[in-house]
Each structure stands twice: as structure tokens, then as C-alpha cells.
Structure 1
Amino acid sequence: MNLKFSLLTGNVLALSLLSTGVFSQNIKVNLTEVLSEKGQLMVAVYNKQDHWLSDKPTEIFAQKIISLEGQITNKTLQFTLELPEGEYALYLFQDKDNNGELKSNWIGIPKEPVGTSNNAKGTMGPPKYKDASFQVAAEDIVQNITLANMD
């Protein structure tokens, strides 16, 4: 499986637009092991197992791009997403060269730091949607994600 995907700036869906529904909840994300402020954080929100890790903008529920400069404290970045009730999984990476794509080696292992909701890990490949997915219901939730530096 190829982990490389692109978050195109022109197709970024502002997550704040999703908060217009009565049932939107805050998802506070604590991202740790952010070792540099270089580049930007690319966040993809998926809500269907068969779309998991797709790079097609129509299959990504929402996307967010966060500039890292001046945002990191003690190797930690905190940000909030607003999502309506439902099941979701997050995949994110630190786009160190600001090209909108995850760099990977010839066998698909990421060369830029990556993370997933629930800190889901894959075995001989990317993590599974069922391991990364979580429910958004009537209460705000927290996702603690450790950024994995694989290179």
C-alpha cells in the first residue's frame, strides 16, 4: 500500500464550516514529538473505512493545514477540530518541504513524520481504519497522538 497522498490547498475544506450543525463537537488534538517547526501539518479526516488513506479529495471528509512556525511548545502542538457526530479517523503528517505530499521511500515507508488517531500502528503496512477510528458523540473528546519520525 502506498501511504503517499496529497492535500491540495485549493480543495481544503475549512473545518470551521462543519461546526454549523447543532451536534458538532470539539476534538482537541495533542500532538507530541514534533521535533521541528519546519513546514506544515497536514491533517486528513476520514469517515469511511473504504476511503481510509485515499488521496482523492472527494474521499477525504475534511482537511486542515496548520503552519508549525511558532506553534510548538515542548515538542507539542495543540489544535482543535469541530466535527459532527459520527465515526472518524485522523491521518496527519508533517510536510517539512511544504509541497503538500508525504514523502516516502521506495517501499512506501514515510520519510516525513506521521501520526494517526488512537496512535494506531500498522503491521507490515499502514494502520487499519478500525484501529484509528473513534466516535464523536455528545461530548468533546481528546486525541493524544504521537508523531512518528521514521527516517
Structure 2
Amino acid sequence: MKTLALILGLLISGIIANAQDAKGITIKVTIENVLSDEGQILAALHTQDTFMKGAGIQSFGAEAKTGSISFTFEDVKPGTYAISTLHDANENQRMDYQDSGMPNENYAMSGNEMIMGPPTFQDVKFEVGNEDLELKLRF
């Protein structure tokens, strides 16, 4: 009887552990240095397949607020990702550029590196493992 109780206990523990693992990871992102209340803040979580090619696998949008803004991406599976953010001041849902090709609106990428030229996935990627993450990005 003790053996049966032990086996059932281990089985139930295994089921509970697997159910918790299936939930995924939470990534909390804080964008610092939002310079105005104009427009909106847009962000997307990308895989290598979606980076700089369109919509990410999860997205965020909210009214801009001077200072900082925080948001989360929920239920993220372990893997390699990148985050892109944009202060879309004129709310046209895209990055605007100067005639020289330089961005006309503030943006930030995971990694926070000052990159000359368009960012690549390799420049801004980060790993999601088995623990929740907190990232700070700066416009």
C-alpha cells in the first residue's frame, strides 16, 4: 500500500510540474527615456524568422507617456528572441526616416547596443531559459 501511495504521489507531482512548465516565461520590459506624450509606443517580440520582416510573435502598444513605460510578454517558450520598440509619434504604425536614411523617431532594441546601420538579429538577440526575465531598453 505504501508503494502504491508513493507511486501515485510521484505521478501527481510529475503532472503538476509539467503543467507549470507549459505556462511559459514572462518577460517584463521597461523602456526608459520616453521624451514626449505624443503618439504611441509600439513593441514586438521576434524570433529570427520575424525580425525586421513584419509583425512579431507577440506585440504591445500603448499611448506614449513621458518618462518610462513597462509591459510584459507572457507565455514565452525557451529559445532565442529579440525585442524591437518604437515611439511612433505620428501614429502611422511604422518607422519614419529622414532623407539621409536615419530614423526620424526614437527606437530601441534588446541588447541596447548603439549599432551603426540597421540592426541584425545577431546584434540584438537574447536567450529565454526557464526563468522570468526583466529587460530595460532605452530610447
TM-score, normalisation: structure 2:
0.76
Q: Quote the offset at 1:51 in angstroms.
A: 3.8
Greater strand percent: which structure? Answer: 2
Structure 1 or 2, whichever has the larger Rg, is 2
1:65 to 57, 61, 65: 61
Q: Find runs of 4+ consecutive structure 1 residues off by over 3 angstroms.
A: none
Match for residue 37 of structure 1? 37
**Structure 1 residue aligned with 2:86:** 93
* Aligned-partner SS, 1:118: coil
Q: How many residues align?
A: 118
Instruction: Give unmatched runs, 5+ long, in structure 1.
Output: 1-20
Output aligned runs, 1:77-88, within 5 Å. Answer: 77-82=69-74, 83-88=76-81
C-alpha separation in 2, matches of 1:142 and 1:110: 26
Amino acid at match of 1:118: G
> Residue 131 of structure 2: SS of its match in structure 1?
coil
Q: Which runs of 5+ in 2 are unaligned?
A: 1-20
Cα shift readout 1:58-99 (whole Å, capped 9, x = no counterpart): xx322221222xx55xx1111111122211001110111111
Q: Is the aligned partner of 1:118 residue 2:111?
A: yes
Higher relative contact order (CA 8 A, sep 6+): 1
Q: Within 2, Cα distance between the matches of 1:122 and 1:109?
A: 12
| Cα pair 2:43 2:59 within 8 Å, conserved | yes
| % identity of equivalent residues | 26
| Residue of structure 1 equivalent to 2:14 | none
